[in-house]
Amino acid sequence: MIKTFNTLFVTMFGLGKVKKIPGTVGSLATIIILYILFHILSLSSNIILIGLIFIFLYSFTAVANHIKDKENKDPKEVIIDEFIGQSIPIYLYEISHGIKKSSDDAIIFYCVCFILFRFFDIVKPFPVNFFDRNFKNSFGVIMDDVCAGFYVVLSLICFMVLSSYFI
């Protein structure tokens, strides 16, 4: 039973088993889920944070159990790491400045985050590639996407700072 639950968890309820671009599908599902939580259901950011922390912490165990008997220690069907990495810039955007974001602005921002996250997850600049290459376990699977998520945050901060000088 726990093995089935872990498989459902790490594949985001089977989304990771799609034949083509499962990581992109997982990232897209993440922005849809977070949009619904923040803008349709209007859940408290604290409740969402608790959920994200639980998912982050449990994912280490779930991924470790899922990959323990596999030769490939970062199988494509494991996309919970995309959920975690993609959640970082979106969550930080939603809580920034302490004001409620409009749905239209959020859609644009979520799309930018999606594109940037997929770019950093695919290109894997340092330290994303460090975790991907050197940790063939659940830590490496998860942390490369966490780093990619923080690269998105850093890119957007740099853009905001630079644009403030030119606009």
pLDDT band at 74 (very low <50, low <70, confident <90, very high): confident
Phi, psi (5° rounding) for residue 101?
-90, 145
- Smallest CA-to-CA distance from 60 within 143, 163, 1 is with 143
Q: What's the mean pLDDT in 36-57?
A: 97
What pLDDT was estimated at residue 129?
87
pLDDT tens, residue by residue, 134-159: 888 899 999 999 999 999 999 999 99
Count how many domains the chain has.
1
Burial of 78 (0-12, 13-18, 19+ CB in 10 A): buried
DSSP three-state, residue 124 = coil
69 CA to centre of own chain: 25
87-105 residue pLDDT tens: 999 999 999 977 777 888 9
How many other CB atoms are there within 10 angstroms of residue 147's CB atom? 22
**Confidence (pLDDT) at 20:** 93
Of the pLDDT bands very low, low, confident and very high (cuts 50, 70, 90), residue 58 is very high
Q: Which residue has the tokens 């897209």?
A: 28
- Which comes out higher in pLDDT, residue 113 or 133? 113
- What mean pLDDT, rounded, does the chain reach? 92
**Is residue 82 within 8 Å of 30, Cβ to Cβ?**
yes
Residue 166 · residue 105 · CB < 8 Å? no
Q: What is the DSSP letter of 69?
A: T
Quick check: 12 and 29 in contact, CB under 8 A? yes
- Model confidence at 120, pLDDT cuts 50, 70, 90, reads very high
Q: What pLDDT is attached to residue 75?
A: 83
Expressed as residue numbers, the domain containing 29 is 2-166
**Per-residue pLDDT, 95:** 94
The reported pLDDT for the residue numbered 49 is: 98
Q: Are 141 and 67 in contact (CB under 8 A)?
A: yes
149 vs 129, higher pLDDT: 149
Rg (CA), the chain: 16
Nearest to 92 by CA among 139, 141, 158, 157: 157
